[in-house]
Amino acid sequence: MNEYIFYTTEGYTEGPNKDYPVENCQVVGVASGENHNEALKKLFVENPWISEAGFTEYHVLYRRLAPGNPK
């Protein structure tokens, strides 16, 4: 099973100085699956707030996380 981090450029963030625009990405979450599509679907099913907040699967980007060291 692979682990992925999902993020998007949708939305915005304000800095402490609200007159200064901040461009960045929003981390949506981390999920596991055989591939990124499976993990993304699982992320949206297990976290309904993502859709409720207006984020869409279409705009979500991802990166596979490196496997951790076995204990």
pLDDT at 38: 97
pLDDT at 37: 96
Does a structural domain hold residue 70? no
Does a structural domain hold residue 40? yes
3-class DSSP state for residue 39? helix
Q: What is the mean pLDDT of each run of 10 residues along the chain (71 residues)?
A: 94 80 87 97 97 92 85 56
Q: Indicate the number of domains in the chain.
A: 1
In whole angstroms, what is the distance from residue 71 CA to residue 54 CA?
39
pLDDT at 70: 60
Question: Both tokens of residue 67?
Answer: 């496997």
pTM confidence score: 0.82
pLDDT at 20: 78
Does a structural domain hold residue 58? yes
Owning domain of residue 21: 2-64
CA 1 to chain centre: 18
pLDDT at 64: 97
Does a structural domain hold residue 69? no
Strand partners, 4: 31, 64
3-class DSSP state for residue 13? strand
